[in-house]
Chain A
Amino acid sequence: MSSTMVTGSVDTHQASGSGFSLKEWVFTTDHKRVAVLYMIGAFAAFLVAGIMAILMRTELASLGPTVTDNPAAYNTWLYFHGAAMILGYQIPALTGFFANYYVPLMIGAKDVAFPRVNALSVWLFWMGLVVALLTFVIPDPPDIMWTGYPPYSILTGGNTAFYTFTVLLMGFSSIAAGVNFLTTIIYMRAPGMAWSKLNIFIWCTLAAFIIQIIFVPILGVAVTMLSLDKYLGTHFFNAAAGGSALIYENLFWFYSHPAVYVIFLPAVGLIYEIVATFARNRIFNHMKMVYYGIFGVLALTGLVWAHHLYIAGIPNWMVLIHVFTTLVISIPVGLLMIGLLGTLYKGSIQYSTPMLYAAGFLFLFLIGGLTGIPNAMSAIYMHLTDTYWMPGHFHYVMAVSMTTAILGGTYYVLPKMTGRMYSETLGKLGFFLFFIGVNITFMFTLLMGVKGLPRRYYDYQQFPELEWMQQWATIGSYIILLGALVVLVSWLHCAFFGMRVGPNPWGSRSLEWTHAPSPPPPGNFGGEVRVPEDWSPYGYGK
């Protein structure tokens, strides 16, 4: 079955031996190179937005002005950190970089359905990134967090238009990618690649893109109305003229809560791939995880947005419904976690760097998930909202646990992308720095929330007794930065000096490892791929 891969690996040297050509990168339509373009953009956004976090943490390390005495500067960091981390880093890393790299390889296709549209997606994302980065050079930069709530976003002197256009460019990029990848997954699977044989990551990506094409337009509408209100004088969110800011908040979260699952699903898909490979085990109840876990999340994703608005002035019946639906959606999410544990159970686990990240994910997501359950209940939420508890919770559940998936997933795919192996020492060092750093920072963030410290402000004069906690959180953030730099160094080291390895260093059974050389040539497999009747991407022990 996998004998074709030997001839395939001979082909690579002919293809990649022709040397570096800038034109073949900048104007590329090949999914693997588009993936690299996404990767560069997403991690650049991660780095710059991370520097904003370091600035904010340093500002908070002491009472009173520390880095700046201008609170408006803090607001701009806050804006860029949130907007770039979610729209510029997490979503493009997962639905851009990983989806592009894996989908055609895992389903046995030569490329995506519309390669030129794929290139359009990545470049529109880059243009959105450019508009976001202009924040640092324009006068009156946006200062409206990543949420852009009116009336502040309309009344502020900041440039709300660039917020709108960042969202619109990246949104259109996501919709184009969604149309492209849904078509690819449905119509371009290799002969014999039945639905029941698809990798979990493919199912997760499919669900994530279904969410994108349904909900992204809603966010597009919301931010468009925002700029219409601010610059063209409409009254959608103007309470004085009969509009309502609540309309914006509802439309915004109607997309932005599902966006959490756009990030969560592919991230958990990556963790599944890593866990199955490094535990040498089948996926625990593979198709049940797809039907009840992934589709369960998909079914409920559009019904939980108002848990962001419990105290915004929505009617009580709406609050009650969303308490219920929010608690219910933790069932399919919990099921996906049980699937991971079941896959580890009686596996032959090997703790390489990607597997360490997967283990870190399980811990961080557990804390994030457990701190989320009280938030779902409106009576408890009222006391916790707008305190440091909230950033503590969503950094655990979304920011850092999804980042473990992204970083671990990158370590996992690096040997395929480069044909070289990373250094385990550097990989593990980076992981432990990152893992220790995030726990210090966000444990203290949660604790300060319980003490009632309000979030978003650049100073905390009324809470001098919390200064030591702020300092610990800041120390944690420096450890995270150090970890991120070690990770970056280890990737560059891998790409340029790593030991050459064969096409399947992990001994995985999945198509991208068994059938494609590393790195895969144009067309991926050097021929048609046929999937035998009894094949499974997780067929260990057969």
Chain B
Amino acid sequence: MNGHAHELKWHTSYWPLLVSVGTLFLAPLAFGFYFVYKMPLAAFVCLGIGAPLVLISIIGWVREGLEDEHGYSAGLSVWAMPFFIVAEAFLFVGFFAAYWVTRLTAPFWPPPGTPEMSMAVPVVMTFILVASSFTIHLAEGKIEDERYDGKGFIFWLAVTMVLGAVFLGISAFEWTELYHHGFVFGTNVFSSSFFSITGFHGSHVLVGLALFLCILLPALSGKVNKAFVKSASVYWHFVDVVWFFVVSQLYFW
């Protein structure tokens, strides 16, 4: 076997440990200092340590991944993504289960303190997200083997990211509007579910955008990992599908 000498080396990577340590500072320690022990300064110090660590690790990880040290399993991410999506789906199942139990056992719905929701906003958001699913599909088509078009890929990927960002922008706008109507996290049982579920979905959009950024930046210098693009795209479609549940059950039903 020609890869023999290569196999006798113990593989290493800095990034898994560093991203874990970053997460420790970013989430439990920062949250604990701020909310539990009321020490905002210590919390910001933890953020200051955690955020750069996580960011640097992600960049390092992506660069290492594109060099593909462990080439023997290349391409398997496409098959792994469905398993991850199952886990993600059950995250929403948990939230929706709690929401429906609360709602079906409530004496009346929506509970007092809930303002009239704008129906136009979710419709616009739905159109934008569905459009972004189409554009990422177009982008994927540009890196098929027969007619590879790097510029077209970058264009449609960028369009997808803009659509995703606009979606998040509208969501932020809507949250601010509701805030001015006095509808916040702790208003009532509906606001608890509403902000948690839309917030969780929004955070998934954000993760999708981060994945796309991890594809876009290397793509500018011509490095594209097709399996990774395909996985990110499948993830994006999933986020789109979840939105249908969010919009139908929180706004219209």
A234-B196, A242-B106, A247-B98 known; A216+B1 contact, CB < 8 A: no
A124-B20, A161-B35, A251-B94 known; A114+B77 contact, CB < 8 A: yes
From A527, which residue of chain B is reached at the shortest CB distance? B1
In contact, B90 and A217 (Cβ under 8 angstroms): yes
Docked pose: A95 CA to B36 CA in angstroms: 32
Q: Return chain B residues, CB-CB under 8 Å to A114.
A: 73, 76-77, 80
A110-B72, A127-B23 known; A234+B11 contact, CB < 8 A: no
Residue B95 interfacial (CB < 8 Å): yes
Q: Return chain A residues, CB-CB under 8 Å to B27.
A: 165, 168-169
In contact, B11 and A120 (Cβ under 8 angstroms): no
Docked pose: A521 CA to B95 CA in angstroms: 45
A200-243 interface bits toward B, Cβ cutoff 8 Å, 1 = contact, 0 = none: 00000000000001111110111001011101111110000111
In contact, A243 and B192 (Cβ under 8 angstroms): yes
In contact, A228 and B192 (Cβ under 8 angstroms): yes
Q: Which of B14, B77, B192 contacts A235 (CB 8 A)?
A: B192
Q: Return chain B residues, CB-CB under 8 Å to A117.
A: 16
Docked pose: A113 CA to B94 CA in angstroms: 29
From A24, which residue of chain B is reached at the shortest CB distance? B10
Q: Return chain A residues, CB-CB under 8 Å to B73.
A: 111, 113-115, 188
From A14, which residue of chain B is reached at the shortest CB distance? B8
In contact, B87 and A216 (Cβ under 8 angstroms): yes
Q: Please provide the chain B residues from 62 to 91 with a CB less than 8 Å away from any CB of chain A in the complex.
A: 64-65, 70, 72-73, 76-77, 79-80, 83-84, 86-88, 90-91
Residue A126 interfacial (CB < 8 Å): yes
Q: Return chain B residues, CB-CB under 8 Å to A241.
A: 188-189
In contact, A29 and B76 (Cβ under 8 angstroms): no
Residue A467 interfacial (CB < 8 Å): no
In contact, B188 and A235 (Cβ under 8 angstroms): yes
User: Which of the listed residues B76, B87, B101, B102 has the most CB atoms from chain A within 10 Å of its own CB?
Assistant: B87
Q: Return chain A residues, CB-CB under 8 Å to B191.
A: 234
In contact, A27 and B105 (Cβ under 8 angstroms): no
In contact, A28 and B87 (Cβ under 8 angstroms): no
In contact, B31 and A179 (Cβ under 8 angstroms): no
Q: Return chain A residues, CB-CB under 8 Å to B88.
A: 217
A139-B37, A231-B35 known; A123+B20 contact, CB < 8 A: yes
Chain B nearest CB: distance from A453 CB in Å? Answer: 35
Docked pose: A119 CA to B189 CA in angstroms: 40
In contact, B83 and A131 (Cβ under 8 angstroms): no
Residue A149 interfacial (CB < 8 Å): no
B86-113 interface bits toward A, Cβ cutoff 8 Å, 1 = contact, 0 = none: 1110110111011001100110000100
From A175, which residue of chain B is reached at the shortest CB distance? B87
From B57, which residue of chain A is reached at the shortest CB distance? A120
Docked pose: A523 CA to B4 CA in angstroms: 9
Q: Please provide the chain B residues from 1 to 49 with a CB less than 8 Å away from any CB of chain A in the complex.
A: 1, 4, 7-17, 19-21, 23-24, 27-28, 31-32, 35-37
A123-B17, A127-B20, A217-B87 known; A30+B1 contact, CB < 8 A: no
Q: Return chain B residues, CB-CB under 8 Å to A371.
A: none
Docked pose: A138 CA to B196 CA in angstroms: 29
Q: Which of B1, B93, B189, B196 contacts A243 (CB 8 A)?
A: B189
From B88, which residue of chain A is reached at the shortest CB distance? A217
A26-67 interface bits toward B, Cβ cutoff 8 Å, 1 = contact, 0 = none: 111110010000000000000000000000000000000000
The interface of chain B, by Cβ under 8 A from chain A, is 1, 4, 7-17, 19-21, 23-24, 27-28, 31-32, 35-37, 61, 64-65, 70, 72-73, 76-77, 79-80, 83-84, 86-88, 90-91, 93-95, 97-98, 101-102, 105-106, 111, 185-186, 188-189, 191-193, 195-196
The interface of chain A, by Cβ under 8 A from chain B, is 11, 14-15, 21, 23-24, 26-30, 33, 110-111, 113-117, 119-120, 122-124, 126-127, 130-131, 138-140, 159, 161-162, 165-166, 168-169, 175, 178-180, 182-183, 186-188, 213-218, 220-222, 225, 227-229, 231-236, 241-244, 247, 250-251, 521-523, 526-528
7 interchain residue pairs of minimum CB distance: A221-B94, A523-B7, A233-B186, A123-B20, A119-B16, A165-B28, A234-B192
Q: Given contacts A122-B16, A182-B80, A187-B76, list 10 more A-B pairs with CB under 8 A.
A: A29-B70, A111-B73, A119-B13, A120-B16, A124-B20, A183-B76, A220-B94, A241-B189, A244-B105, A526-B7
